[in-house]
Chains A and B, each alone.
Chain A
Amino acid sequence: MISVKNLSKKYGSFTAVNDISFEVEKGEIVGFLGPNGAGKSTTMKMLTGYLPPTSGAASIAGFDVFEKSIEARRHLGYLPENTPLYLDMRVNEYLRYRAHLKGVARGKVSEAVGEAIELCSLRDVEKKMIGALSKGYRQRVGLADALVHDPDLLILDEPTIGLDPNQIRSVRELIKNLAQRRTVLISTHILPEVEIMCSRVIVIHKGKIRASDTAENLLKNHRAAGQLRIEAKAGPEAREEFGRMAGVKDVQVEQDGEFTTFTLRLDANADVSEEAFRLAADRKWNVRELVRKRATLEDVFVELTHSDI
């Protein structure tokens, strides 16, 4: 659905997107992650044909976004960053206008707009001026606009920003439901959201793709894939013994009354919890707590993007 080849974008001498390539297949929901200024919005702007790439090419549904821009745009529903809207129009008026622009058949416009209004829970404000709406409602209008012509591909730049928790949840549901027939590329800073919604994650940092995989695989291959925390009555010798187990990278020790807390950092895929439990039992270290903490997407994200590599 999306094909990006060696795409670069320079603003003056500053390279915002540096020679990235990726594919998105039909039906995928891809989360586009990266710290502020990573180049997410810039990439999306190039995909939607708004910004010309400095070099490289991208296509949507087989149409080059620059050479066959109009055809590519017909397949696209785009929610730009900051949700630009005409503040002097009413919600339903704006959506009707957009539906017409996007080529919804004349007789279908009312139906399409009604559906978008329903999907984004805009019924209460459909007759209001957009300029009089709160940020969250404007965000929903932007989303309704992206959906109104029932596009094959949705490119959403931070769609849940500014929404209340109920709305975030319903937008998530909405996007998941939409994805049964469509492809979605979504950028966000809310990582749990990505784990819930996305079938794949692309992490971009300083204009380069750092990872592109399912959230599951990213977690599995994460360098510090997990931790094991053991609180036990044990002497200092326990530290060395825990450290000798295969898959343990290092052990941190913290005294807490008569108990000691051992934090074991583990290699990818290593699970030493049973072994550690048996060891403690053998040595008669009374264990108060044994917790396996799995790496979160946040850990992966930090790992991939904190450095200056």
Chain B
Amino acid sequence: MRTLFHLTAREVKSFFYSPIAYVMLVIFLALNGVAFYYAVQTLTKIPADESVVFVTFFSPFFVWPFILIMPLLTMRVFADEFRMGTIESLTTAPVKDWQVVMAKFFGALVFYIVLFIPTYCYFFFYKWFTGIPAAFAAGPYWGSALLLLLAGMFFISMGCLASALNREQINAAAMSLVMTVLFIFLAALPDFFVGKNEEETKWLTHFIGYISFFEHLPTFCRGIIDTRPIVFYLSLTALFLFITHHVFQARKWKS
């Protein structure tokens, strides 16, 4: 436990020691700000049923940075250790492989959470300054936070796997970007079948509804906590971390 803590602390620090992390943080924060600004604008012009949380997270100014940031978060976690050779000092200390994998995962997750703190402050300050509580309620606020946390865990575990599979950062980034995009846009899949045969594609729509991020997001942004996506994300995260652990162990059998 103590080992895991110190490993994770080192991971988190390594994020904050790199200037790129601050660039990421600022850009992400700025774009989320834009998304939020438009959300507020939209809602003042056209009163809608949706909360400001919902509208913000459906803005392209949120979605694209969100997708792009995932590979950046995880690409270096293993690749850097191999590049610098520190993998040798790390894995010859009395540290278990699963502890290394979990530390990489938690390290990226902590930075991911930090990325979202300003955005969640926006919502809060909005309420503070405008005194319009109707803009969002506690449900969407915490619901969306929970979903973003779960989805973040899932995407980060996927990124960790990509990083463990690739010695080059850039390849790791490319691989995790492809996986993330594929997964996120699964939701668009049923649209290709629309009009063909509704009955036949019903199961597909149903299935995709179960696994698609863009199906989950509105649900949680409306403050509805659905347990199926929770189970889905948690189990997939566990699965990906499990595979990552095996890939990481398999390094010993390569050379």
Q: Which residues of A contact B (CB under 8 A)?
A: 11, 45, 48-52, 70-71, 73-74, 76, 78, 80, 82, 84-89, 97-98, 100-103, 106, 145
A222 to B95 Cα, complex, angstroms: 44
Contact A84 B88 (CB under 8 A): yes
Q: Which residues of B contact A106 (CB under 8 A)?
A: 2
A218 to B243 Cα, complex, angstroms: 51
A-B residue pairs, 8 tightest by C-beta = A84-B85, A88-B17, A100-B6, A48-B92, A73-B94, A84-B86, A80-B88, A101-B93
Contact B3 A51 (CB under 8 A): no
Contact A50 B95 (CB under 8 A): no
Contact B96 A70 (CB under 8 A): yes
Contact A73 B93 (CB under 8 A): yes
Ordered by A's residue number, 23 sampled pairs between the chains whose C-beta atoms are within 8 Å are A45-B88, A50-B91, A51-B255, A52-B252, A52-B253, A80-B85, A80-B92, A82-B85, A85-B84, A85-B89, A86-B10, A88-B14, A89-B17, A97-B9, A97-B10, A100-B2, A100-B6, A101-B3, A101-B94, A101-B95, A102-B93, A102-B94, A103-B3
Taking the closest CB of chain A, its distance from the CB of B227, in whole angstroms, is 38
Mark contacts of B129-173 with chain A using CB atoms, 8 A cut-off: 1 yes-contact digit, 0 otherwise.
Answer: 000000000000000000000000000000000000000000000
Taking the closest CB of chain A, its distance from the CB of B58, in whole angstroms, is 37
Contact A74 B252 (CB under 8 A): no
Given contacts A70-B94, A73-B92, contact A101 B7 (CB under 8 A): yes
Mark contacts of B81-116 with chain A using CB atoms, 8 A cut-off: 1 yes-contact digit, 0 otherwise.
Answer: 000111111011111100000000000000000000
Q: Which residues of A contact B86 (CB under 8 A)?
A: 84-86
A35 to B72 Cα, complex, angstroms: 43
Contact A78 B92 (CB under 8 A): yes
Taking the closest CB of chain A, its distance from the CB of B97, in whole angstroms, is 10
Q: Which residues of B contact A (CB under 8 A)?
A: 2-3, 6-7, 9-10, 13-14, 17-18, 84-89, 91-96, 252-253, 255
Contact A88 B18 (CB under 8 A): yes
Contact B94 A50 (CB under 8 A): no
Contact A103 B92 (CB under 8 A): no
Q: Which residues of B contact A76 (CB under 8 A)?
A: 92
Taking the closest CB of chain A, its distance from the CB of B248, in whole angstroms, is 13
Contact A103 B14 (CB under 8 A): no
A51 to B85 Cα, complex, angstroms: 13
Contact A86 B84 (CB under 8 A): yes
**Which of A71, A80, A84 is packed against the most chain B CB atoms within 10 Å?**
A84
The residue on B at minimum CB distance from A78 is: B92
A146 to B69 Cα, complex, angstroms: 37
Q: Which residues of B contact A103 (CB under 8 A)?
A: 3, 94
Taking the closest CB of chain B, its distance from the CB of A204, in whole angstroms, is 20
The residue on A at minimum CB distance from B87 is: A84
Contact A50 B92 (CB under 8 A): yes
A11 to B254 Cα, complex, angstroms: 9
Q: Which residues of B contact A84 (CB under 8 A)?
A: 84-89
A89 to B255 Cα, complex, angstroms: 29
Name the contact of B3 in the complex, choosing from A50, A87, A100 (C-beta under 8 A).
A100
Taking the closest CB of chain B, its distance from the CB of A215, in whole angstroms, is 29
Taking the closest CB of chain A, its distance from the CB of B104, in whole angstroms, is 14
A215 to B71 Cα, complex, angstroms: 55
The residue on B at minimum CB distance from A99 is: B6
A86 to B85 Cα, complex, angstroms: 9
Q: Which residues of A contact B18 (CB under 8 A)?
A: 88
Taking the closest CB of chain A, its distance from the CB of B57, in whole angstroms, is 33
A89 to B96 Cα, complex, angstroms: 22
The residue on A at minimum CB distance from B91 is: A50
Taking the closest CB of chain B, its distance from the CB of A82, in whole angstroms, is 6
Contact B89 A11 (CB under 8 A): no
Taking the closest CB of chain A, its distance from the CB of B249, in whole angstroms, is 10
Contact B6 A101 (CB under 8 A): yes
A87 to B13 Cα, complex, angstroms: 12
A30 to B3 Cα, complex, angstroms: 32
Taking the closest CB of chain B, its distance from the CB of A217, in whole angstroms, is 32
Contact B255 A80 (CB under 8 A): no
Q: Which residues of B contact A49 (CB under 8 A)?
A: 91-92
A88 to B232 Cα, complex, angstroms: 37
Taking the closest CB of chain A, its distance from the CB of B49, in whole angstroms, is 48
Taking the closest CB of chain A, its distance from the CB of B14, in whole angstroms, is 6
A86 to B2 Cα, complex, angstroms: 20
